[in-house]
Each structure stands twice: as structure tokens, then as C-alpha cells.
Amino acid sequence: MWTYRLLLISISLWIWLAFVHGDSAAQTETSQRPLTVAVLDFAGNRSGRLVSDLFASKLASPALVMIDRDLARTAARGTGYEGSLNMSLSEARDLGAAVGCDFYIVGDAQTLRRSPSTGAPYFESYASIL
């Protein structure tokens, strides 16, 4: 679980630096209207939902307006989005237009059981964010 937290903190810091400390034109735009961001569910499993919920809560700040998670999920399903990370340009644009945000974040997170040929089975967790 600590690896998820470390990953989320580092990604949140990166996004904060990218959006808040951009060039002066971006800072002027953000001072007029805050950026809207949506975090969609990562994969369709329990681990993905937990990670996306934690990520969305850590990403929330006064400089960003977070789109309601249920509304974003419903809008994404309405466009036919089923959690794919491999979208065409038109699919990505349609998804962004349907959700109604400046940026959206998709990803994948899973906990998998591994059974090596030697040794005891173990669990491996990962999260990828795009």
C-alpha cells in the first residue's frame, strides 16, 4: 500500500508542477479560470477503483476543479469508453468532450498473484497512469 501512496504523491507533485508553474500564458489563463480535471476509474476492478479514488483525493487542490467522479464515469460510459488505454485521437477527443474537462486521467491498477517455478507464491501490485 505504501508503494501506491509514494506513486500517487510523486505523480501529484509532477502534475502540480506542470499545471501551476507553467509558462506565463498558462498562469494568466489559470488565474482567470481554474483547470478542470477528471480522474476516470483505472481498469474495471477493485484495485483500480481504490487507486483512482486515492489519486483523485490527493490531486484535489484550489488550483484545480475536480469533475465529480460519478458524472465523469457516466459520461465516459456514454461514449462507449470501457477502460481502454489505447485510444485513437478521435476517441480521446470524444471522451474529453463528453466528460467536459480540460484534462482527464486514465490508467490501470491491479494486484496479481504470481506463482514462480521455485519458491512460494506472492502478490504483485502496480499502477500505471496516463
- Write the CB contacts of 47 (distance below 8 Å, at least 6 apart in sequence): 109, 110, 111, 125
Domain ranges of the chain: 2-129
Question: Grid coordinates in use for 9?
Answer: 504523491
Radius of gyration of the chain (CA): 17
Average pLDDT, the chain: 79
pTM summary value: 0.67
pLDDT of residue 114: 92
The 10s digit of each residue's pLDDT in 58-105 is 888 888 889 998 899 899 888 888 888 888 898 889 999 999 988 999
Q: Using a pLDDT cut of 90, give the percent of the chain over it.
A: 14
For residues 83 and 91, give the distance between their C-alpha atoms in angstroms, rounded to a whole number: 12
Band (pLDDT 50/70/90 cuts) for residue 31 is low
pLDDT of residue 4: 58
Class of the CATH domain delimited by 2-129: alpha beta
